Homo-oligomer: A and B are copies of this chain.
Amino acid sequence: MADQRNPLFTIDNVLFTVKDKTLMVLLVKRAIEPFRGCWGLPGGFVDVTKDDNTEATALRKLKEKTSLEPQYLEQLQTFSGAQRDPRGFSVTLVYYALTSEQQVSAHIETVDDVQWIALSEVSQMTLAFDHCEIIAQAYERLKQKALYSMIPVFCLPSQFTIGQFKCVIETIIGQPIQRKSLIRRIEASEMFAAIDEKVQSGGRLAQLYKVKPGVDIVNFERNFRM
C-alpha cells in the first residue's frame, strides 16, 4: 500500500464543540486495525474516485460520523513519522472543525461508536496513534485563534445571544472576557445581524443575532488578554 516514494497518507479531523461550558472533541471507536477498539479521531483514506481534494475527504469523513457538515473547517497541519503507525512511515493531514452541539448530538446519540469527550478527559485516555498530541495541537490553534477572530461563533446554533457567544469564547480560551469587549468586536466586525426577536435568559430578554450570509470571518489586530 505504501511504497518507498509514497508513504501512507490519511486524513484526520478534530471536531470541537462547546456543551455546558465544556469544550468537547468528537471521537470514534475504531472498527479496523491498527488500534481496533480504541478511540480515535474520525478520519481515513482519500478516495480519489469521490474526493476532489483533501478538504472533500475531511468533509466526507465527518459527514459519515455526524451526518452533517461542520460550520467551520480549516487545515491544521500534517503529522508524520516512521514510528507513528505500525504499518510504516505515515503522514496524516489533520483538519480541525467547529459545530454546534445541537446539530450533531441528535445523530450521534443513535450510535454507540461515536461520542463527544470533554477535552479535559482526553489527556487521561489512551487514543489511537498520536491522536492525543494532535488534539492538543488543534486546541492550541483554536485557542489562539479565538483571541483575535470570531470563529467561536461556529460552536453556536444559527441564532444566538451575546451571552452565549461570550460563554463559548470563555470556554475555549479558559479565561473570562469583558462582555463589553465582545460587543465592541461584534459591532466593528459587521459580521452579525440582529434578529427581530428576543429570548429569555434568566434575566432581561436577550437580543438574538445571526451571522450575515456570505460574510468573511474578521480578524482583529489585537488579542484578548490571557
Contact = CB atoms under 8 A, between A and B. Distances in A.
Given A91-B54, A91-B93, A222-B222, A7 B81 contact: no
A57 to B, nearest CB: 9
Interface in A183-226: 221-223, 225
Interface in A31-71: 45-49, 51-55
Given A221-B222, A222-B221, A222-B222, A7 B48 contact: yes
Interface centre among A48, A54, A82 (most CB of B within 10 A): A48
Contacts of A3: 1
A6 interface: yes
A126 interface: no
Given A77-B77, A223-B221, A9 B48 contact: no
A225 to B, nearest CB: 8
A68 to B, nearest CB: 23
Q: Which of under 10, 10 to 19, 20 to 34, or 35 or more describes the interface residues of A?
A: 20 to 34
Query: Can you tell how many copies of this chain the complex includes?
Result: 2
B52 A82 contact: yes
A5 interface: yes
Contacts of A45: 5-6
Contacts of A81: 52-53
Nearest to A224: B221
Contacts of A82: 48, 51-53
13 contacts: A1-B3, A4-B48, A5-B45, A5-B46, A5-B47, A6-B9, A7-B46, A7-B48, A51-B89, A93-B93, A221-B222, A221-B225, A222-B222
Contacts of A55: 80
A158 interface: no
